[in-house]
Structure 1
Amino acid sequence: MRGIETVRHALRLSALSLAIAWAALPAAAADGSTAIRLPDTSRFPESVTSLADGTLFVSSIADGGVLRIEGGGAAATPFLKPGEYGTRSTLGLLADERRGTLWVASNDATAIGAPGPTATEGGWVKAFDLATGALRLSVRLPGGKALANDFALDGDGALYVTDTLAPRILRLKPGAAAFEVLVEDDTLKNGLDGIAFGIDGNLYVNTFLGGEMFRIGMTNGVAGRVTRLETTRPLKFPDGLRPFRDGFVMVEGSGALSRVTVSGDGAKVQPIGQFAGATGVTVVGNRIWVAEGQLSLLSKTLKDSREAPSFHLRAMDVE
């Protein structure tokens, strides 16, 4: 029993640390060339994903649900209504056009100040039909406290998920009804967040609290060595991470949007834009969309909405 209580205490401290870190985030000014204002029913966007035609999907850590925004920035319409199918606070999103699926992370985020629209406990990953919105699959993360954060897909359609409250990356293989632990390593304990595959076939992740970036060696679907990469500048609350050309694009809670290029055990982090409390990023051709989550204002706004900020997706084009 003492061991169980120790684990529970550690998880509570992790959630508290995450809440404190979010409260410390600066709300930097944003000046995107293209902006879409989100409705007040979808506050504090956490993730954004896209289709090849420019259609966007955006989650909401405060209100739940998923919005769909047609290419060109037309009016946002609900793809997943808040609380529908037992969902709660929505975080990571990833569209898999090849298989016609939208992956959605749904969590009880009460510990970090977002009670969400339902009382569903735990961390969940749900798959929805991109065309109809029908629920295809619903799988709970194993163990006690867990928070499903972000996603990556391999070529076979297996889904990889970061668990922010545990130093582990989970995998859900096609046709499986439960997650397997791909890797669990104490070096990943500082709030796993963004995740993406590199052109070398290895898996890359960052840690929100630690400001770290790691490579997990992958060989024939088997995880190998976990390597901490030396970044060319300190990372400040790194979050969404997506493949881009020969590397990645990454956003940070500090507001930075950067290109990341890995060479050996080092990562060149080159800022290319500045946004307000950036949380999510997606790529459509040469256009990069950023979700301005402004999580530093989360607790204050949910307690007193009289001075609630507006929320936007903003884009910039990269040559």
Structure 2
Amino acid sequence: MKRKIQRWVVTTALSVAASLVVGSVWAAGMPEVTLPDTAPFPESVAATSDGVLFVSSITDGGVLRIALDGSAPTPFFKPGEHDTRSTFGVLADDKSGTLWVASNDASAIGIKGPSAVEGAWIKAFDLKSGGLKAAFRLPVESAVANDFAFGPDGTLYVTNTAGPEIFMLKPGADALEIFVKDDALKGGLDGIALGEDGNLYVNTYVSGELFRIGIAGDVAGKVTKLKTSRPLTHPDGMKPYKNGFIMVEGKGTLDRVTVSGDEAKIETVKEFAGPTGVVLAGDVIWVTEGQLGYLSDPDKKGRKPEAFRLRAMSLPKE
């Protein structure tokens, strides 16, 4: 297992290195992207190895595609297409040519979405054509599919914000299975990422917690709550980065997370406007400014910010 993790880390590093020039071009020519009015409240962002970005919308649904040449964002698929509704997490898998998208009926939290499709789903789309390849419904009554991470064996892991479960889709499987169910995780599961140590790491949006979950084949190992160096406020998207992770918090920060034993050091890298998603594209970090406070804060509810943007910054120097 250790060798498999090491191979996965090396492969990931090579993929990132291959796109360094791409990332530099983006940072130099386009430090931000203003999203169209048809895609407000972005929830997540994904990137292919050649720097193409994909962005979801928690309120209006659909997924935007933002090309490397800096042209205007275009619909990868339109709101409500392919029986989708509110779109949450997105994850690009270059190896299989797939974009994974979480689609949900979020009406329980006051978000109607662009269709009447019930349930929580993860859907696989062809990265080139945009065609639907497969769809899987989360097999529990209370479910909101939020974010994704791949294991070293190709298993896809999915967080359920509405319950204390993480689901898995094993390679070639035709249905999702529960990987772990634990009441410790009931604080609104959100961001998820695979650590260099071969464990899964997840955060909880509502309770502001960070957990490590062991992987023992097809079953979960120990669930451990990590002690953070400072409180977390609405932690959201999270990606692996140099002995730890980069993570955004809805309160307005991009953080670097370094794990040592059962403790996690949280360092603020930069501030953003209500960040919700983060992705590495070469040597550039892209952050979605979802500004979800406008959906929940009584003083802001019913209004929209001036604009919704993706913002880029170079990787922090060591």
TM range (shorter): 0.7 to 0.9
* Residue 271 (structure 1) aligns with: 268
The corresponding residue for 1:136 is 133
Distance in 2 (CA, whole Å) between partners of 1:212 and 1:156 is 27
* CA pair 282-51 structure 1, distance change in 2 beyond 3 A: same
Inter-partner Cα distance in structure 2 for 1:184 and 1:136: 28
1:56 equivalent among 53, 56, 65: 53
Counterpart for residue 19 of structure 2: none
In 1, the alpha carbon distance for the partners of 2:114 and 2:219 equals 38
How far 1:230 moved relative to its partner?
A: 0.5
Matched, 1:206 2:182: no
**One-letter amino acid of the counterpart of residue 227, structure 1:** T
Which structure exhibits the higher relative contact order, with contacts defined as CA atoms closer than 8 Å and separated by 6 or more residues? 1
Which amino acid in structure 2 is aligned with residue 291 of structure 1? T
Contact kept, 8 Å, 1:197 with 1:204, in 2: the verdict is yes
Q: Which stretch shows the higher mean deviation, 184-193 or 168-177?
A: 168-177
2:113 aligned residue: 116
Change (3 A) 1:276 1:308: closer
CA contact (8 A) 1:301 1:308 kept: no
Equivalent residue in structure 1 for 2:184, among 181, 184, 187: 187
Structure 2 letter corresponding to 1:91:
F
Q: Give me the CA root mean square deviation.
A: 1.6
Summarize deviations over 1:79-118 as a string: whole Å, max 9, x none. 0110001100000000000110000000011122210000
Q: Contact 2:294/2:302 (CA < 8 Å) preserved in 1?
A: no
Moved more, 106-115 or 187-196: 106-115
Residue of structure 1 in register with 2:44 after alignment? 47
Q: Within 2, Cα distance between the matches of 1:301 and 1:85?
A: 35
- Match of 2:42, SS state, is coil
- Deviation at residue 303 of structure 1 after TM alignment: 7.5
Question: Alpha-carbon deviation of 1:301?
Answer: 11
Is 2:75 the partner of 1:81? no
Question: Which residue in 2 is equivalent to 1:196?
Answer: 193
Deviation at 1:220, TM superposition (A): 3.0
Q: What are the ranges of 5 or more consecutive residues in structure 2 without an aligned counterpart?
A: 1-29
Deviations 1:116-174 (A, max 9, x none): 00000110000001011111101110121210000001123211000001001000112
**Aligned with 1:97 (options 83, 87, 94):** 94
Cα shift readout 1:55-89 (whole Å, capped 9, x = no counterpart): 10000011100000012532101101100011000
Q: 1:73 to 1:234 in 2, by over 3 A?
A: farther
Aligned equivalents of 2:107, 2:283: Cα separation in 1: 37
Segments of structure 1 that go 5 or more residues without pairing to the other structure are 1-32
> Quick one: distance in 2 between partners of 1:73 and 1:272?
26
Q: 2:293–2:300: 8 Å Cα contact kept in structure 1?
A: no
Runs of at least 4 residues off by over 6 Å:
300-303
- Aligned-pair CA distance for 1:247: 1.1
Is it true that 1:175 corresponds to 2:172 in the alignment? Answer: yes
Aligned residues: 286
2:95 match: secondary structure: helix
The 8 Å contact of residues 233 and 251 in structure 2, kept in 1 or not, is answered as yes
In structure 2, C-alpha distance between the alignment counterparts of 1:92 and 1:289, rounded to whole Å: 15
1:291 to 283, 288, 291: 288
TM-score, structure 1 length as denominator? 0.86
- Distance in 2 separating the partners of 1:177 and 1:302: 42
Given candidates 239, 250, 253, the residue that maps to 1:253 is 250
